[in-house]
Amino acid sequence: MGLSLFGQYIREREGKLIVESEVGFATYMFWPDQKACYIEDIFVLPEFRRSHQASLFADQIAIEAKNAGMQWLVGSVKATLPSSTASVKVLLGYGMQVDSAENGVIWFKKEIV
Ligand SMILES: CC(C)(COP(=O)(O)OP(=O)(O)OC[C@H]1O[C@@H](n2cnc3c(N)ncnc32)[C@H](O)[C@@H]1OP(=O)(O)O)[C@@H](O)C(=O)NCCC(=O)NCCS
């Protein structure tokens, strides 16, 4: 199935890649010079949370990233956001590890196997 209107907008106007389903989406981009795929945002409808939908999106993105020659999945959390604790748990729960922290942003990465 093709992308939703939102998906087409994100791709055309923001130049980002996106995976979607009926319950959410995740946006990402490749950073070829770092062999990295940055997962920028994930959203899952509240009634479908805690059933590994976000993990499924990340798995899907990891396959795309590997096919594109990337070695790392990268995520970030802005420490000042009220949701930052939950975001950190999500990234750790997915097996990401803290890579660095600068300017109030914590960076996470995970090798794509
Ligand atoms: C964050 C979000 C995308 C997680 O989606 P999800 O489909 O519920 O996440 P998953 O079920 O794949 O969770 C994977 C793991 O992350 C951790 N986790 C997920 N949500 C969590 C929460 N609210 N608090 C603590 N840990 C959490 C758990 O370890 C979980 O594994 P488990 O359920 O087996 O313990 C979803 O809650 C959401 O859309 N939130 C609003 C948008 C947002 O904050 N996006 C930023 C994401 S970094």
Residue in 23, 50, 59, 110 to alter for ligand 1 test, most ligand atoms within 8 A of Cβ: 50
35 burial type by CB count under 10 A (0-12 exposed, 13-18 middle, 19+ buried):
middle
pLDDT of residue 1: 66
pLDDT digits (tens, 9 = 90+) for 93-108: 999 999 999 999 999 9
**pLDDT of residue 81 exceeding 70:** yes
**Is 84's C-beta closer than 6 angstroms to any atom of ligand 1?**
no
Partners of 102 in beta bridges: 105
CA dihedral 61, 11, 75, 44 (to 10 degrees): -70
pLDDT digits (tens, 9 = 90+) for 7-58: 999 999 999 999 999 999 999 999 999 999 999 999 999 999 999 999 999 9
Q: What is the pTM of this model?
A: 0.94
Residue in 21, 90, 98, 108 to alter for ligand 1 test, most ligand atoms within 8 A of Cβ: 90
In this structure, which residue's CA is closest to atom 35 in ligand 1?
93
Nearest to 54, CA basis, from 81, 84, 76, 21: 21
